[in-house]
Amino acid sequence: MGRFLVRRISLGALVLWIITILVFVMFFVAPNDVAHNIAGRNATPATVANVRRTLGLDQPIVTQYWHFLTRLLHGNLGQSYYTQQPVASILKSRLPATLSIMVGAAVIWMLLGVSSGIISAIRPRSVADRGLTTFALFFYSLPTFVLGLAMLNVFFYQLHTHGWPNLPGSGYVPLTQDPYQWFLHMILPWVTLALLLAATYTRLTRGAMLDVLGEDYIRTARAKGLGEGRVVLRHGLRSALTPIVTQFGIDLGTLVGNLVVTETVFGISGVGKLAIDSITNQDLPVIIGVVICASASVVIMNIVVDIAYALLDPRVRLN
Protein backbone atom coordinates (compact mmCIF):
# COMPACT_ATOMS: atom_id res chain seq x y z
CA MET A 1 0.00 0.00 0.00
CA GLY A 2 2.89 2.34 0.80
CA ARG A 3 4.52 1.82 -2.61
CA PHE A 4 1.12 2.29 -4.25
CA LEU A 5 0.69 5.69 -2.57
CA VAL A 6 4.25 6.77 -3.38
CA ARG A 7 3.72 5.97 -7.08
CA ARG A 8 0.43 7.83 -7.25
CA ILE A 9 1.69 10.90 -5.37
CA SER A 10 4.88 11.00 -7.47
CA LEU A 11 2.82 10.84 -10.66
CA GLY A 12 0.56 13.63 -9.35
CA ALA A 13 3.60 15.81 -8.59
CA LEU A 14 4.92 15.20 -12.12
CA VAL A 15 1.58 16.22 -13.62
CA LEU A 16 1.52 19.41 -11.53
CA TRP A 17 5.04 20.27 -12.66
CA ILE A 18 4.03 19.83 -16.31
CA ILE A 19 1.00 22.05 -15.67
CA THR A 20 3.24 24.81 -14.28
CA ILE A 21 5.30 24.67 -17.49
CA LEU A 22 2.18 24.88 -19.66
CA VAL A 23 0.78 27.78 -17.62
CA PHE A 24 4.07 29.66 -17.78
CA VAL A 25 4.37 29.16 -21.55
CA MET A 26 0.74 30.11 -22.09
CA PHE A 27 0.91 33.39 -20.17
CA PHE A 28 4.53 34.50 -20.50
CA VAL A 29 6.12 32.89 -23.57
CA ALA A 30 3.26 32.73 -26.08
CA PRO A 31 3.15 35.60 -28.58
CA ASN A 32 1.74 38.24 -26.34
CA ASP A 33 3.37 41.22 -24.66
CA VAL A 34 2.48 40.90 -20.98
CA ALA A 35 4.21 44.15 -20.04
CA HIS A 36 2.30 46.10 -22.70
CA ASN A 37 -1.02 44.59 -21.58
CA ILE A 38 -0.32 45.60 -17.97
CA ALA A 39 0.87 49.10 -18.85
CA GLY A 40 -2.20 49.79 -21.00
CA ARG A 41 -2.86 50.63 -24.61
CA ASN A 42 -1.67 54.24 -24.35
CA ALA A 43 1.54 53.48 -22.46
CA THR A 44 4.80 54.89 -23.76
CA PRO A 45 7.73 52.59 -24.65
CA ALA A 46 9.53 53.82 -21.53
CA THR A 47 6.59 52.82 -19.33
CA VAL A 48 6.39 49.39 -20.96
CA ALA A 49 10.13 48.89 -20.49
CA ASN A 50 9.83 49.89 -16.83
CA VAL A 51 7.01 47.39 -16.26
CA ARG A 52 9.00 44.66 -18.01
CA ARG A 53 12.04 45.36 -15.83
CA THR A 54 9.99 45.53 -12.61
CA LEU A 55 8.33 42.16 -13.26
CA GLY A 56 11.57 40.53 -14.39
CA LEU A 57 10.24 39.96 -17.90
CA ASP A 58 13.53 41.16 -19.39
CA GLN A 59 15.39 38.15 -17.96
CA PRO A 60 16.03 34.86 -19.85
CA ILE A 61 13.02 32.54 -20.11
CA VAL A 62 14.68 29.82 -18.02
CA THR A 63 15.41 32.33 -15.23
CA GLN A 64 11.84 33.63 -15.36
CA TYR A 65 10.43 30.10 -15.06
CA TRP A 66 12.77 29.25 -12.18
CA HIS A 67 11.59 32.32 -10.25
CA PHE A 68 7.98 31.48 -11.14
CA LEU A 69 8.34 27.88 -9.91
CA THR A 70 10.22 28.93 -6.75
CA ARG A 71 7.47 31.37 -5.81
CA LEU A 72 4.82 28.70 -6.37
CA LEU A 73 6.65 26.21 -4.14
CA HIS A 74 6.69 28.83 -1.38
CA GLY A 75 2.97 29.52 -1.81
CA ASN A 76 3.60 32.90 -3.42
CA LEU A 77 1.23 33.44 -6.35
CA GLY A 78 2.20 37.08 -6.79
CA GLN A 79 0.13 40.22 -6.35
CA SER A 80 -3.05 41.25 -8.09
CA TYR A 81 -2.50 43.97 -10.69
CA TYR A 82 -5.97 45.28 -9.98
CA THR A 83 -6.14 45.38 -6.14
CA GLN A 84 -2.42 45.09 -5.25
CA GLN A 85 -3.27 42.33 -2.78
CA PRO A 86 -1.48 38.96 -2.59
CA VAL A 87 -3.22 36.44 -4.83
CA ALA A 88 -2.96 33.77 -2.12
CA SER A 89 -4.86 36.03 0.30
CA ILE A 90 -7.54 36.73 -2.30
CA LEU A 91 -8.02 33.01 -2.99
CA LYS A 92 -8.07 32.26 0.73
CA SER A 93 -10.84 34.81 1.30
CA ARG A 94 -12.94 33.39 -1.57
CA LEU A 95 -12.36 29.71 -0.80
CA PRO A 96 -14.87 29.27 2.10
CA ALA A 97 -17.82 30.22 -0.12
CA THR A 98 -16.70 27.87 -2.89
CA LEU A 99 -16.04 24.98 -0.50
CA SER A 100 -19.45 25.53 1.12
CA ILE A 101 -21.16 25.10 -2.25
CA MET A 102 -18.99 22.15 -3.29
CA VAL A 103 -19.33 20.09 -0.12
CA GLY A 104 -23.06 20.66 0.36
CA ALA A 105 -23.90 20.01 -3.29
CA ALA A 106 -21.68 16.89 -3.38
CA VAL A 107 -23.48 15.35 -0.39
CA ILE A 108 -26.90 16.01 -1.93
CA TRP A 109 -26.08 14.81 -5.45
CA MET A 110 -24.46 11.62 -4.15
CA LEU A 111 -27.45 10.80 -1.93
CA LEU A 112 -29.96 11.58 -4.68
CA GLY A 113 -28.06 9.95 -7.52
CA VAL A 114 -26.95 6.75 -5.80
CA SER A 115 -30.26 6.11 -4.02
CA SER A 116 -32.34 6.70 -7.15
CA GLY A 117 -29.92 4.52 -9.16
CA ILE A 118 -30.31 1.69 -6.66
CA ILE A 119 -34.10 1.94 -6.79
CA SER A 120 -34.02 1.84 -10.60
CA ALA A 121 -31.68 -1.18 -10.58
CA ILE A 122 -33.67 -3.33 -8.18
CA ARG A 123 -36.90 -2.59 -10.09
CA PRO A 124 -35.81 -2.45 -13.75
CA ARG A 125 -38.39 -1.37 -16.34
CA SER A 126 -40.86 -0.50 -13.60
CA VAL A 127 -42.75 2.78 -13.30
CA ALA A 128 -40.24 3.97 -10.70
CA ASP A 129 -37.33 3.08 -12.97
CA ARG A 130 -38.76 4.88 -15.98
CA GLY A 131 -39.77 7.88 -13.90
CA LEU A 132 -36.34 8.29 -12.29
CA THR A 133 -34.61 7.82 -15.65
CA THR A 134 -36.80 10.51 -17.24
CA PHE A 135 -36.19 12.78 -14.26
CA ALA A 136 -32.43 12.28 -14.60
CA LEU A 137 -32.39 12.93 -18.36
CA PHE A 138 -34.44 16.11 -17.92
CA PHE A 139 -32.03 17.71 -15.47
CA TYR A 140 -28.97 16.35 -17.26
CA SER A 141 -30.00 18.26 -20.39
CA LEU A 142 -30.44 21.61 -18.62
CA PRO A 143 -27.65 24.22 -18.69
CA THR A 144 -26.52 25.39 -15.25
CA PHE A 145 -27.62 28.99 -15.74
CA VAL A 146 -31.11 27.96 -16.92
CA LEU A 147 -31.77 25.84 -13.84
CA GLY A 148 -30.24 28.49 -11.58
CA LEU A 149 -32.45 31.24 -12.98
CA ALA A 150 -35.49 28.95 -12.75
CA MET A 151 -34.73 28.25 -9.09
CA LEU A 152 -34.40 31.98 -8.43
CA ASN A 153 -37.68 32.70 -10.16
CA VAL A 154 -39.67 30.00 -8.34
CA PHE A 155 -38.14 29.88 -4.87
CA PHE A 156 -37.02 33.50 -4.49
CA TYR A 157 -39.00 35.88 -6.68
CA GLN A 158 -42.37 34.07 -6.60
CA LEU A 159 -42.19 33.29 -2.88
CA HIS A 160 -41.20 36.87 -2.05
CA THR A 161 -44.02 38.18 -4.23
CA HIS A 162 -46.55 36.05 -2.36
CA GLY A 163 -45.25 36.98 1.09
CA TRP A 164 -42.88 34.09 1.81
CA PRO A 165 -39.45 35.75 2.00
CA ASN A 166 -37.70 32.71 3.42
CA LEU A 167 -34.92 31.92 0.94
CA PRO A 168 -32.36 34.60 0.03
CA GLY A 169 -31.59 34.86 -3.65
CA SER A 170 -27.99 36.01 -3.56
CA GLY A 171 -24.97 36.62 -1.37
CA TYR A 172 -23.00 34.56 1.11
CA VAL A 173 -22.90 34.57 4.91
CA PRO A 174 -19.87 32.83 6.51
CA LEU A 175 -20.64 29.72 8.54
CA THR A 176 -18.72 31.09 11.52
CA GLN A 177 -20.76 34.29 11.49
CA ASP A 178 -24.30 32.89 11.34
CA PRO A 179 -24.80 29.15 10.66
CA TYR A 180 -28.53 29.50 10.03
CA GLN A 181 -28.16 32.28 7.46
CA TRP A 182 -25.25 30.40 5.90
CA PHE A 183 -27.54 27.41 5.43
CA LEU A 184 -30.37 29.50 3.95
CA HIS A 185 -28.03 31.20 1.47
CA MET A 186 -26.61 27.84 0.36
CA ILE A 187 -29.90 26.00 -0.30
CA LEU A 188 -30.54 27.26 -3.83
CA PRO A 189 -26.93 26.85 -5.08
CA TRP A 190 -26.77 23.37 -3.49
CA VAL A 191 -30.00 22.18 -5.09
CA THR A 192 -29.09 23.67 -8.48
CA LEU A 193 -25.76 21.85 -8.70
CA ALA A 194 -27.10 18.69 -7.08
CA LEU A 195 -29.98 18.26 -9.54
CA LEU A 196 -27.64 18.72 -12.50
CA LEU A 197 -25.00 16.26 -11.32
CA ALA A 198 -27.26 13.71 -9.60
CA ALA A 199 -28.63 12.76 -13.01
CA THR A 200 -25.26 11.32 -14.02
CA TYR A 201 -25.04 9.23 -10.86
CA THR A 202 -28.56 7.88 -11.28
CA ARG A 203 -27.73 6.40 -14.69
CA LEU A 204 -24.22 5.32 -13.63
CA THR A 205 -25.41 3.59 -10.46
CA ARG A 206 -28.28 1.91 -12.27
CA GLY A 207 -25.99 0.46 -14.94
CA ALA A 208 -23.34 -0.70 -12.48
CA MET A 209 -25.87 -2.24 -10.11
CA LEU A 210 -27.65 -4.11 -12.91
CA ASP A 211 -24.34 -5.68 -13.91
CA VAL A 212 -23.43 -6.61 -10.34
CA LEU A 213 -26.84 -7.96 -9.31
CA GLY A 214 -26.61 -10.56 -12.07
CA GLU A 215 -23.34 -12.04 -10.76
CA ASP A 216 -23.08 -15.53 -9.29
CA TYR A 217 -21.99 -14.39 -5.83
CA ILE A 218 -25.15 -12.26 -5.52
CA ARG A 219 -27.30 -15.30 -6.26
CA THR A 220 -25.25 -17.27 -3.74
CA ALA A 221 -25.80 -14.62 -1.08
CA ARG A 222 -29.53 -14.72 -1.70
CA ALA A 223 -29.53 -18.53 -1.62
CA LYS A 224 -27.90 -18.40 1.84
CA GLY A 225 -30.92 -16.51 3.12
CA LEU A 226 -29.42 -13.03 3.43
CA GLY A 227 -31.91 -10.18 3.44
CA GLU A 228 -32.40 -8.31 0.17
CA GLY A 229 -31.27 -5.02 1.72
CA ARG A 230 -28.01 -6.54 2.91
CA VAL A 231 -27.41 -8.21 -0.44
CA VAL A 232 -28.00 -5.00 -2.38
CA LEU A 233 -26.11 -2.58 -0.11
CA ARG A 234 -23.28 -4.67 1.34
CA HIS A 235 -22.51 -7.02 -1.55
CA GLY A 236 -23.92 -5.28 -4.61
CA LEU A 237 -23.30 -1.59 -3.97
CA ARG A 238 -19.70 -2.02 -2.83
CA SER A 239 -18.80 -3.84 -6.04
CA ALA A 240 -20.60 -1.19 -8.10
CA LEU A 241 -18.91 1.76 -6.40
CA THR A 242 -15.75 1.80 -8.54
CA PRO A 243 -17.20 3.72 -11.54
CA ILE A 244 -19.19 5.92 -9.16
CA VAL A 245 -16.05 6.88 -7.22
CA THR A 246 -14.29 7.59 -10.52
CA GLN A 247 -17.04 9.93 -11.66
CA PHE A 248 -17.23 11.59 -8.25
CA GLY A 249 -13.51 12.35 -8.27
CA ILE A 250 -13.70 13.82 -11.77
CA ASP A 251 -16.79 15.91 -11.00
CA LEU A 252 -15.44 17.25 -7.72
CA GLY A 253 -12.09 18.12 -9.30
CA THR A 254 -13.60 19.86 -12.33
CA LEU A 255 -16.50 21.51 -10.51
CA VAL A 256 -14.96 24.98 -10.98
CA GLY A 257 -16.57 25.18 -14.43
CA ASN A 258 -20.08 24.83 -12.98
CA LEU A 259 -19.21 27.02 -10.02
CA VAL A 260 -18.33 29.92 -12.34
CA VAL A 261 -21.93 29.97 -13.57
CA THR A 262 -23.53 29.11 -10.23
CA GLU A 263 -21.67 31.77 -8.26
CA THR A 264 -22.43 34.36 -10.94
CA VAL A 265 -26.15 33.54 -11.00
CA PHE A 266 -26.51 33.61 -7.21
CA GLY A 267 -24.12 36.52 -6.62
CA ILE A 268 -21.69 34.55 -4.44
CA SER A 269 -18.14 35.86 -4.24
CA GLY A 270 -16.27 32.59 -4.55
CA VAL A 271 -13.38 31.34 -6.64
CA GLY A 272 -15.59 30.88 -9.70
CA LYS A 273 -16.74 34.50 -9.71
CA LEU A 274 -13.17 35.56 -8.97
CA ALA A 275 -12.08 33.84 -12.20
CA ILE A 276 -14.67 35.79 -14.21
CA ASP A 277 -13.73 39.10 -12.58
CA SER A 278 -9.99 38.54 -13.09
CA ILE A 279 -10.49 37.71 -16.79
CA THR A 280 -12.62 40.84 -17.20
CA ASN A 281 -9.94 42.98 -15.50
CA GLN A 282 -7.07 41.14 -17.26
CA ASP A 283 -5.60 40.45 -13.81
CA LEU A 284 -2.94 37.96 -14.89
CA PRO A 285 -1.61 36.80 -11.46
CA VAL A 286 -5.14 36.03 -10.24
CA ILE A 287 -5.94 34.10 -13.43
CA ILE A 288 -2.74 32.07 -12.99
CA GLY A 289 -3.57 31.45 -9.33
CA VAL A 290 -7.07 30.17 -10.17
CA VAL A 291 -5.72 27.93 -12.96
CA ILE A 292 -3.02 26.45 -10.70
CA CYS A 293 -5.47 25.83 -7.84
CA ALA A 294 -8.06 24.26 -10.17
CA SER A 295 -5.41 22.01 -11.71
CA ALA A 296 -4.13 21.00 -8.28
CA SER A 297 -7.66 20.11 -7.18
CA VAL A 298 -8.08 17.80 -10.20
CA VAL A 299 -4.75 16.06 -9.51
CA ILE A 300 -5.48 15.70 -5.79
CA MET A 301 -8.95 14.26 -6.41
CA ASN A 302 -7.48 11.73 -8.84
CA ILE A 303 -5.02 10.62 -6.15
CA VAL A 304 -7.90 10.32 -3.67
CA VAL A 305 -9.83 8.23 -6.21
CA ASP A 306 -6.85 5.91 -6.64
CA ILE A 307 -6.63 5.46 -2.86
CA ALA A 308 -10.37 4.75 -2.75
CA TYR A 309 -9.86 2.09 -5.42
CA ALA A 310 -7.28 0.37 -3.22
CA LEU A 311 -9.69 0.40 -0.27
CA LEU A 312 -12.70 -0.84 -2.28
CA ASP A 313 -10.82 -3.45 -4.34
CA PRO A 314 -7.66 -4.97 -2.76
CA ARG A 315 -6.57 -6.28 -6.17
CA VAL A 316 -5.62 -2.71 -7.16
CA ARG A 317 -2.69 -2.82 -4.72
CA LEU A 318 -1.11 -5.73 -6.60
CA ASN A 319 -1.13 -4.02 -10.00
Domain ranges of the chain: 2-73, 87-318
Range with lowest mean pLDDT among 41-55, 142-156, 187-201, 264-278? 41-55
pLDDT category at 72 given cuts 50, 70, 90 is: confident
The end-to-end CA distance of the chain, in Å, is: 11
pLDDT digit string, tens, across residues 78-136: 888 777 788 889 999 999 999 999 899 999 999 988 888 888 888 888 888 888 888 88
Cα–Cα distance list, 159 to 151, 163, 173, 192, 195 (Å): 11, 6, 21, 17, 20
The C-alpha angle 241, 247, 252, rounded to 5 degrees, equals 120
User: Is a pLDDT exceeding 70 seen at residue 13?
Assistant: yes
pLDDT category at 55 given cuts 50, 70, 90 is: low
Q: What is the pLDDT of residue 33?
A: 64
Q: What is the pLDDT of residue 190?
A: 92
Whole-number average pLDDT of the chain:
81
With a CB cutoff of 8 Å and minimum separation 6, the contacts of 153 are none
Average pLDDT, integer, range 154-158 = 81
Is CATH 1.20.58.390 the classification given to domain 87-318?
Answer: no
